[in-house]
Amino acid sequence: MTRSVLFAEVPGFYAAVEFGEGPADDPRPLIVGGDPRRRGLVQAATPNALAAGVRVGMPVLEALRLCPRARAVRTDLSRYREVSRRLFACLRRGFGRLEPFGLGAAFFDVTQATETPEAIGARLRAAVLEELNLRLRIGIASGKFLARLAAEESEADPGGIRRVAAGREADFLKPLPASRLEGVGQKTAATLAELGAATIGEVVVLGRERLEEAFGTHGLRIFACASGADDAPVRAARYPKSLSREATVAGETLDLAVLGERLLDLARHLEAELELEEISAGKISLRVRYADQAATTRSRTLASPVAQAAEIQEVALDLLARTQAGSRAVRGLGIQLARLGPAGEKGRQLDLFNPPR
Q: What is the pLDDT of residues 169-187, one digit of tens each?
A: 999 999 999 999 988 988 9
Residue 352 has pLDDT above 60, yes or no: no
Q: Is 348 a domain residue?
A: no
Q: Are residues 13 and 127 in the same domain?
A: yes
Q: Are residues 5 and 143 in the same domain?
A: yes
Asked if 140 and 162 count as a contact pair (C-beta separation under 8 A), the reply is: yes
Residue 22 has pLDDT above 80, yes or no: no
Residue 225 has pLDDT above 50, yes or no: yes
Q: Is 289 a domain residue?
A: yes
In terms of residue numbers, what domain contains 66?
1-156
Q: Are residues 37 and 102 in the same domain?
A: yes
The model carries a pTM of 0.80
196-215 average pLDDT score: 94
Average pLDDT along the chain: 90
Q: Are residues 61 and 180 in the same domain?
A: no
Residue 350 has pLDDT above 50, yes or no: no
Q: Are residues 256 and 202 in the same domain?
A: no
253-280 average pLDDT score: 92
Comparing 24-38, 69-83, 153-167, the range with the smallest average pLDDT is 24-38
pLDDT tens track for 96-133: 899 999 999 999 999 999 999 999 999 999 999 999 99
Q: Are residues 122 and 183 in the same domain?
A: no
pLDDT tens track for 158-167: 789 999 998 8
Q: Is 238 a domain residue?
A: no
Residue 194 has pLDDT above 80, yes or no: yes
325-336 average pLDDT score: 94
Residue 36 has pLDDT above 50, yes or no: yes
- Type of residue at 256: L
Single residue among 121, 156, 191 that ends a domain in this structure: 156
CA atoms within 13 A on the CB side of 341: 20
Comparing 174-188, 194-208, 297-311, 334-348, the range with the smallest average pLDDT is 334-348
Q: Is 356 a domain residue?
A: no
Q: Are residues 152 and 23 in the same domain?
A: yes
Q: Are residues 137 and 13 in the same domain?
A: yes
- What is the C-alpha to C-alpha distance for residues 140 and 255, in angstroms, rounded to an integer? 55
291-309 average pLDDT score: 94
Q: Are residues 101 and 65 in the same domain?
A: yes
Q: Is 236 a domain residue?
A: no
Single residue among 156, 181, 212 that ends a domain in this structure: 156
pLDDT over 70 percentage in the chain: 95
Comparing 129-138, 144-153, 214-223, 230-239, the range with the smallest average pLDDT is 230-239
Q: What is the pLDDT of residue 24?
A: 63
Q: What is the pLDDT of residue 300?
A: 95
Q: What is the pLDDT of residue 25?
A: 62
Residue 229 has pLDDT above 90, yes or no: no
Q: Is 8 a domain residue?
A: yes
Beta bridge partners of 128: none
Residue 60 has pLDDT above 90, yes or no: yes
Q: Is 355 a domain residue?
A: no
Question: 155 CB contacts (<8 Å, ≥6 apart)?
Answer: 137
DSSP β-ladder status, 279-290 and 330-342: antiparallel
Task: Give the CATH number of the domain where residue 330 resides.
Answer: 3.30.1490.100
Cβ neighbours of 322 (radius 10 Å): 12
Q: Are residues 101 and 215 in the same domain?
A: no
Calculate the CA dihedral of residues 169, 173, 179, 182 and round it to 10 degrees. Answer: 0
Q: What is the pLDDT of residue 231?
A: 85
Q: How many domains does the chain have?
A: 3
Q: Are residues 147 and 21 in the same domain?
A: yes
Q: What is the pLDDT of residue 288?
A: 96
Residue 334 has pLDDT above 70, yes or no: yes
Task: Give the CATH number of the domain where residue 58 resides.
Answer: 3.30.70.270
Q: Are residues 68 and 202 in the same domain?
A: no
Q: Is 55 a domain residue?
A: yes
